[in-house]
A and B are shown apart, each in its own frame.
Chain A
């Protein structure tokens, strides 16, 4: 097992380095003169040259990269070009917000997709309905879903606030009210894709002999479904969930923009809009490293459950 982990790490770590380097090189190459960006368009050439020398902007890319990584590992991710704040201070409060949004969405998506698709009451009707809803959920873009939900529930019915985010400290109920629509928006896509995966697994487990044997013992349909089919069918879904976590960022980016939620998604989008290179770089690298680590953990978890994969 340790051999497996070490071998996976040996592949993942160099990948992280290469990809973050590519990102760094790409972003810094594109930005042109960071010094000019920092000082403004009418800075004198001497001031720019001075800044270049001081921050080492003329050094080879690799050297700059290593310097940046060194700083990053110490918690220093540079300063934003737009706000002059330390990037780490911008990311710090934003990350938990995105994580909370993501966690609620994924948890509900898992529970709903597995639960609804294991029900045995009115199976054909509920199954067809759930599949239909799932297809709509994975094709509808989150900005459309978000906009529609806002229109229906906030503008037309007035039940919920339109956009914005209220931290827990200002009241749990208010926080939750602001949370509902964004969570539903983000949850929808994952509900759809988990449903498709789970239903396929369910159908294949259902055909196995031990399911018929369970029925022959006199168990009710529901007991067969939840106690025998569900555990075997849910396993692949769990690993699929792990891999989806990496993709979650994309969904969060749009959802946070729609609902004006101060998470790293929205931070990323506004950095892109204002060409704020340190923020783009920092968030991009965090996402990259995060995705690769999550996938690594998913691989390890899968290998822990299924010994055959440890080859």
Chain B
């Protein structure tokens, strides 16, 4: 098996597991993730596979339910980023001369800005709801789509078969749609997967820093943060949701890289 198919299979396995966990959480979880009342901060046991947190909630159930948040936020934010970034990239790539250079510089400025810091600033201003989170993450990620699409458009544009199409009189819009787009689709698909992983990564970081979805939602990042104080008592409080984030991010990333 080549390295690429190996990566792809691991990626799909991870994504599949997380998707299953999220979709089937209400049935897979042995306890209600928000129900407290069992022994507080107990370690891993037969009843509570990952133990319980400081409010007596079952950690395993919370981790499973946390998958739902990631599975909604990740792909949606990635789509938002694509919906903004791809048209901008197409325009930038197809434009010539000074408009082209100007758009490149604008895109570069946005790419240079540190995503997490930007997300922090905007989220604190508009409040951390699901909708805002998705929009902010999409806003932070669109420049990468634009840059990639622009690069692809420019290289395809220079290729001979596009010249041939125009030579027989195709209008620019038609040239874009029929000839340029199919070649770009693969790159965009790969970047979508990578954007999902990046969105989940950033959303979890925001959650860790206290700007995730408000309680009692089981949000992985927030769980890591609240479990932090109890590392010596029950490390799984932090390491289990943290591990879940890591595996999800890894899964989507591997899928994205293999599609390229």
A contact set with B: CB distance below 8 Å = 11, 15, 19, 23, 26-27, 30, 128, 135-136, 138-144, 147-148, 150-151, 155, 162, 243, 246-251, 253-254, 257-258, 268-269, 272-273, 275, 280, 284, 287-288, 291-292, 295
Q: Name, among B115, B121, B197, B225, the residue most crowded by chain A CB atoms within 10 Å (CB to CB).
A: B121
* B250 beta carbon closer than 8 Å to chain A: yes
The answer to whether B197 and A253 touch across the interface, beta carbons within 8 angstroms, is: no
B117 / chain A contacts, CB cutoff of 8 Å: 249-250, 253, 268, 284, 287
Docked complex Cα distance between A251 and B116 (Å): 8
Q: Name, among B117, B204, B239, the residue most crowded by chain A CB atoms within 10 Å (CB to CB).
A: B117
Chain B residues 141 to 171 lying within 8 A of chain A, measured CB to CB, are none
Closest A residue by C-beta to B106: A15
Docked complex Cα distance between A253 and B119 (Å): 12
Q: Tell me whether A147 and B231 are in contact in the complex, defined as CB-CB below 8 angstroms, given that A135-B250, A291-B112 are known contacts.
A: yes
* B29 beta carbon closer than 8 Å to chain A: no
The answer to whether B112 and A292 touch across the interface, beta carbons within 8 angstroms, is: yes
Chain B residues 199 to 251 lying within 8 A of chain A, measured CB to CB, are 201, 204-205, 208-211, 221, 224-225, 228, 231-232, 235, 238-239, 242-243, 245-246, 249-250
B contact set with A: CB distance below 8 Å = 3, 105, 108-109, 112-117, 120-122, 124-125, 197, 201, 204-205, 208-211, 221, 224-225, 228, 231-232, 235, 238-239, 242-243, 245-246, 249-250, 253-254
A-B contact pairs, 29 of them (CB 8 A): A11-B105, A26-B121, A27-B125, A139-B253, A141-B205, A141-B246, A143-B204, A143-B242, A144-B239, A144-B243, A147-B235, A148-B242, A155-B231, A250-B114, A253-B116, A253-B209, A254-B208, A257-B208, A269-B209, A269-B210, A272-B120, A272-B124, A272-B210, A284-B121, A287-B114, A288-B113, A291-B112, A291-B114, A292-B112
The answer to whether A139 and B114 touch across the interface, beta carbons within 8 angstroms, is: no
A275 / chain B contacts, CB cutoff of 8 Å: 124
Docked complex Cα distance between A148 and B235 (Å): 9
A27 / chain B contacts, CB cutoff of 8 Å: 121, 125
Docked complex Cα distance between A144 and B248 (Å): 13
A144 / chain B contacts, CB cutoff of 8 Å: 224, 239, 242-243, 245-246
